């Protein structure tokens, strides 16, 4: 049985971004996972694969990165895999360089978002170099959206011949049998739990509570909208990352003090919060192929998203949601206002369209089968 090594920077990416995928591939390949230590053993048990710990950081840490590279080289020399497949930027560059040095025949990297798209100055130049090095060492690069593929080509990071989008996009698809409103308790009961009246109109955000996700704009816009509509609420589901990407000070203060904003922290199961809500508000600056937009759609929830790759492929403007420019509070205000004012007619039609559009294009097993077909073709 041929061997595949899958590498991510942190083990939570194996658990969430690739949930179930390694276990599926184990039927056809000997699968080995490599990631940082925290939580890795639990992930290996869940996915039923073996693995190695290699500590990798999400920051620029030259000495630590060099040590990680040496560890990866040693593991690949020992395992002699047929395929090395990396995800996330740090694991991508270190894994691809290690695989190139050890002459692994098939070196694959999935692109699920590029930090360089919102970087400037020296940081942008450094990230350009890192991205080009990753793609140079790879034999195949898999952007997880068609727009991302076009961006990579337009930036001259890789030739079109090296790029391929698996299925219709996405890294892992969506388990539509799990993300369905039928698996949760009633909307009324869930709203009572969080002190939300059944007549309230609820916007929800699910993800990291950070600047790059558009939280500053979302909170400012919600506060402005609340001056006219006092029956709206905002649910924030996710953790802060104050060291990596802090919010504006006034925004944190508003979140903590405003009774109409309900911050519930990170949740293992986000489905109840989609059931509570009327609309997903997701004004992110950059994405690869956002799982949360697919999850919301699979739960029958329309979305407001920004016109960035991934988001603008999952959402069809006016059909299953609205698309607005990023970093634009005025456009976000108008979209949120429109959703509220059309909640009894057009919004219900968007909700009716939301789930079928996800099932048709992004059902998880379709993505897994397409990736398996790609592996088998190498």
pLDDT tens for residues 130-184? 999 999 999 999 999 999 999 999 999 999 999 999 999 999 999 999 999 876 6
Helix axes 62-79, 89-101, angle to 10 degrees: 50
pTM: 0.83
Helix (H) or strand (E) holding 139: none
The pLDDT score that the predictor gives to residue 183 is 65
The pLDDT score that the predictor gives to residue 121 is 87
Give the separation between CA 216 and CA 250, rounded to whole angstroms: 9
Is-contact 318 342, C-beta < 8 A? Answer: no
Give the separation between CA 23 and CA 6, rounded to whole angstroms: 12
Residue 39's region, left for phi above 0, alpha for psi from -120 to 50, else beta, is left
The pLDDT score that the predictor gives to residue 106 is 98
The pLDDT score that the predictor gives to residue 193 is 92
Torsion, Cα of 100, 16, 274, 267 (10° steps): -130
Helix (H) or strand (E) holding 109: strand 106-111
SS3 83: strand
Spans of the chain below 50 pLDDT: none
The pLDDT score that the predictor gives to residue 113 is 76
The pLDDT score that the predictor gives to residue 184 is 67
Nearest to 36, CA basis, from 3, 2, 72, 62: 72
Is-contact 276 191, C-beta < 8 A? Answer: yes
Both structure tokens of 341: 């004012």
Name beta bridge partners: 1: none
Give the separation between CA 112 and CA 130, rounded to whole angstroms: 15
CATH number (3.50.50.60, 3.90.1310.10, 3.90.480.20, 3.40.50.2000) of 181-362 reads: 3.40.50.2000
Give the separation between CA 370 and CA 368, rounded to whole angstroms: 5
Considering Cα of 266, then 114, then 331, then 303, what sign does the dihedral take?
negative
SS3 338: helix
Q: Where are the domains of the chain?
A: 3-173+364-377, 181-362
- Superfamily grouping for domain 3-173+364-377: Glycogen Phosphorylase B; (3.40.50.2000)
């Amino acid at each position: 049985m041929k061997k595949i090594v899958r590498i991510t920077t942190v083990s939570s990416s194996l658990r969430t971004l690739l949930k179930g995928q390694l276990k599926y591939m184990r039927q056809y390949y000997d699968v080995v996972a490599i990631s940082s230590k925290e939580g890795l053993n639990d992930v290996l048990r869940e996915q039923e694969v073996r693995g190695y710990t290699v500590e990798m950081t999400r920051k620029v840490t030259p000495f630590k990165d060099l040590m990680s590279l040496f560890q990866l080289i040693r593991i690949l020399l020992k395992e002699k895999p047929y395929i090395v497949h990396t995800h996330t930027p740090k694991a991508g560059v270190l894994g691809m360089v290690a695989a190139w040095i050890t002459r692994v025949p098939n070196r694959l990297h999935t692109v699920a978002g590029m930090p360089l798209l919102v970087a400037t100055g020296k940081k942008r130049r450094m990230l350009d170099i890192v991205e080009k090095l990753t793609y140079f060492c790879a034999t195949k690069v898999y952007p997880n959206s068609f727009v991302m593929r076009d961006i990579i080509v337009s930036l001259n990071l890789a030739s079109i011949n090296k790029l391929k989008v698996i299925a219709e996009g996405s890294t892992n698809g969506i388990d539509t049998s799990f993300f369905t409103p039928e698996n949760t308790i009633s909307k009324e009961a869930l709203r009572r739990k969080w002190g939300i009246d059944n007549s309230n109109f609820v916007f929800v955000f699910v993800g990291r509570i950070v600047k790059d996700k558009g939280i500053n704009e979302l909170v400012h816009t919600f506060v402005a909208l609340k001056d006219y509509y006092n029956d709206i609420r905002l649910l924030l589901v996710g953790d802060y990352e104050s060291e990596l990407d802090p919010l504006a000070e006034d925004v944190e203060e508003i979140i903590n003090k405003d009774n109409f904003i309900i911050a519930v922290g990170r949740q293992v199961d986000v489905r109840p919060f989609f059931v509570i809500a009327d609309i997903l508000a997701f004004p992110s600056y950059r994405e690869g192929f956002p799982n949360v937009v697919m999850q919301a759609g699979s739960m029958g929830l329309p979305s407001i998203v920004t016109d960035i790759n991934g988001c603008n492929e999952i959402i069809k403007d006016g059909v299953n949601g609205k698309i607005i420019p990023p970093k634009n509070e005025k456009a976000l205000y108008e979209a949120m206002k429109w959703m509220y004012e059309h909640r009894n007619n057009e919004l219900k039609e968007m909700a009716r369209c939301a789930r079928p559009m996800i099932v048709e294009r992004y059902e998880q097993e379709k993505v897994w089968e397409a990736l398996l077909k790609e592996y088998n073709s190498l």
